[in-house]
Structures are given as structure tokens and as C-alpha cells.
Chain A
């Protein structure tokens, strides 16, 4: 699964730690998701989508 998390974060000038704080997860988790090492659970994917005010499918794709 690929995602646009790093791009969305960069557009807002957020560091990984900023995003981690907003999602209430560790920076390590944000990094693992961004680098594709870890696919988030559905609840966390929804939290990410809500934070960026975007539909899940515009952030994550299975290509």
C-alpha cells in the first residue's frame, strides 16, 4: 500500500513529530507509515483522514 502522508505533511510544514503529536502516536509510527513499512489499522487511517480532512482513498492507495 502506498500513501501521500509525507506530501500532505510537507504541505502543512509539519514535522513527523508534529503529525505524531496530532495523531497521538509515536514519531516512529509516523515514519513507519510514511516509508510504507507499516500499514495503519482502519481506525488510525480514519484518524489520519479526519486530520487532513480528506477521504481515506485520497491518502492511501493499494497500487
Chain B
């Protein structure tokens, strides 16, 4: 294993995420153009609306693949803990959104749930890494 803190599985995961982002960006751009400039209806509208979700869903699948490939069990535990924190934050957001819809006839803006999920994940990973760094003894 190299001296870098990232494990080989983590490096592969990061490469895959980067590739997916390179697919996602033109997809969201094309979708925006098609939906705005063409009066799409029916299955074509559904197709273009759902298209950008595919690389995002693949992102979640890549996380699953990373967890399968990661041979460093502690890194796996850190990732699973962060995923639990992110899932809790997402569920909390969805519950708030549901009550807002039910009683206030309003809703949280689109994509907030997804943003909150990955933001919470990143914060949880960061906090654990800082905590471990503070405790390093050599």
C-alpha cells in the first residue's frame, strides 16, 4: 500500500465518481436545453426529465461497489458511519418536507435532500478524519 492516506479501492472509487460527473454535466446541460427549448410532452418529457438521474443513481451504486472492494475494514466502518449520518440527515429533511407539504402547503426546494445527503456524508467523513488525525501517535 502506498504512503498516501487513500486506499487503492478509494482511489478507484474517486476515479469512477469523476467519470460519472463527466457524464452528468453534459447530461444536465442537454436536458436543460431540450426541456426549455422544445415543447416536450409525454414519454419524451419523462425521458429527458429522468435522464440526469441515471448518473446520480450510478453514483450511489459506485458507493456500494466501493464498500465491496474496500479491504481496509476500518475505512469501511468510517464510510458506513458517514452513510448512516447522511441517511439520518436525509430522512430528517424528508420528514420536514412531508409536514410542510401536509400543513403549510409548501415544500423544500428540489434537490435539497440530495445536497443534504452528500453534505452530511462529507462532514461526517471530515469529522472522523480530523478526530483520528488528532489522536495519531507515532
Contact = CB atoms under 8 A, between A and B. Distances in A.
B67 to A, nearest CB: 15
Interface string B64-90: 000000011111011000000000000
A6 B135 CA distance: 13
A21 B132 contact: no
Contacts of B132: 28, 31-32, 37
Contacts of B75: 26, 28-29
A26 B5 contact: yes
B112 to A, nearest CB: 32
A3 interface: no
B37 interface: no
A32 B1 contact: no
Contacts of A35: 135, 137
Nearest to A9: B138
Interface residues of A, number: 22
A28 B5 contact: yes
Contacts of B129: 28
Contact of B138 (A16, A28, A29, A41): A16
A44 B137 contact: no
B138 A15 contact: yes
A54 interface: no
Interface of A: 6, 15-17, 20-21, 24-29, 31-35, 37-38, 40-41, 44
22 contacts: A15-B138, A16-B138, A17-B3, A24-B1, A24-B72, A25-B72, A25-B74, A26-B1, A26-B5, A26-B7, A26-B75, A28-B78, A28-B129, A29-B72, A31-B136, A32-B74, A33-B74, A34-B137, A35-B137, A38-B77, A40-B74, A41-B73
